[in-house]
């Protein structure tokens, strides 16, 4: 049950401008279907169709990065028919939507692992990435077979294989070994479906993200809901550990 309510704030001079990067945990497809007496896959289909609407609204707003969480490494624990059905729906949607996205200047990226996915699905993901790689209007990153912990483990493995010394390991270097390399950290993370948790999504990158949770189920989340989330975000004051108000001179670092 969602217990958090957005506090009423008066936007001041330090309120945030539009986010550069919005990340969405698209949750609630199963409940959407259940409420209608439909099979869960019908909810996944409706949810997948909804991506289109939200991408369009994001393009209209001029936000340059959108990440969507579509399938987690933990979602493999669902019944086999649901997992297979989801893979089929994703393959269909890539097939149907890629050329329209390409024409709109959308660059498609994949976050997560292609390992274990059926070969035709892997092929269509790779093709969509290749076709759209030069587009610059909007980067649409699809987290599919993605888990934040797995991503960090893979980054550590790469670093060890590269034989780097402890002194060379910085936050920037770790970020550059994640599948989000080149994307700014998400400014705003929206979760639909009423839960208030990350479920292993972008756990490194979300260090200073603003959260917005809504009980609206993903297939029903439309441009007005996005507008509401953005309005809430714009009233937040991001402090990144500092103090409110204009930036002050940082204190000197302690000397050893
Ligand atoms: C989100 O919807 C999509 C995936 C996790 C693949 P759910 O399938 O989790 O929907 P609920 O939470 O059961 O309603
Ligand atoms: C999170 O939803 C994953 C995606 C939206 C892809 P889940 O439905 O899997 O999350 P939990 O199990 O409720 O944490
Ligand atoms: Mg769920």
- The DSSP result for 100-143, as a single string, is HHHHTTEEEEEES--TTS-HHHHHHHHHHHHHHTT--SEEEEEE
- What pLDDT score does 4 carry? 64
CATH number of 21-148+186-234: 3.40.1180.10
Give residue limits of the domains in the chain: 21-148+186-234
Q: Pick from 43, 54, 70, 195 the residue to mutate for probing ligand 2's pocket: most ligand atoms within 8 Å of its CB.
A: 195
Q: Check if 147 has its Cβ closer than 6 Å to any atom of ligand 1.
A: no
Residue 27 bears catalytic tag: yes
**Nearest ligand 2 atom, CA 197:** 14
- What pLDDT score does 16 carry? 84
Q: What is the mean pLDDT of the chain?
A: 94
**Nearest ligand 1 atom, CA 34:** 14
Residue 185 bears catalytic tag: no
Alpha carbons 216 and 229: distance in angstroms, whole number = 12
- Tell how far CA 11 is from the center of its chain: 26
- What pLDDT score does 7 carry? 65
pTM of the model: 0.93
pLDDT tens for 210-222 read: 999 999 999 999 9
């Amino acid at each position: 049950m969602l217990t958090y309510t957005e506090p009423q704030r008066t936007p001041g001079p330090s309120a945030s401008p539009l986010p550069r990067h919005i990340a969405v945990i698209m949750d609630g497809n199963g409940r959407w279907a259940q409420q209608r007496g439909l099979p869960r896959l019908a909810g996944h289909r409706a949810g997948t169709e909804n991506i289109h609407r939200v991408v369009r609204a994001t393009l209209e707003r001029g936000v340059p990065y959108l990440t969507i969480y579509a399938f987690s490494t933990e979602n493999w624990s669902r019944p086999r028919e649901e997992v297979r059905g989801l893979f089929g729906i994703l393959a269909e949607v890539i097939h149907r939507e890629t050329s329209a996205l390409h024409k709109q200047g959308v660059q498609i990226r994949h976050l997560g692992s292609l390992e274990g996915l059926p070969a035709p699905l892997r092929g269509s993901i790779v093709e969509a990435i290749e076709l759209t790689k030069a587009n610059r209007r909007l980067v649409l990153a699809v987290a599919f077979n993605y888990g934040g912990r797995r991503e960090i483990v893979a980054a550590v493995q790469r670093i060890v294989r590269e034989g780097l010394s402890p002194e060379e390991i910085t936050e920037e270097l770790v970020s550059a070994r994640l599948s989000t390399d080149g994307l700014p950290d998400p400014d705003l993370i929206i979760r639909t479906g009423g839960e208030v948790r990350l479920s292993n999504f972008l756990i490194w990158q979300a260090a200073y993200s603003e959260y917005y949770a809504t009980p609206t189920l993903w297939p029903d989340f439309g441009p007005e809901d996005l507008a509401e989330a953005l309005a809430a975000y714009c009233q937040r004051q991001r402090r990144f550990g500092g103090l409110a108000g204009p930036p002050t001179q940082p204190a000197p670092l302690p000397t050893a």
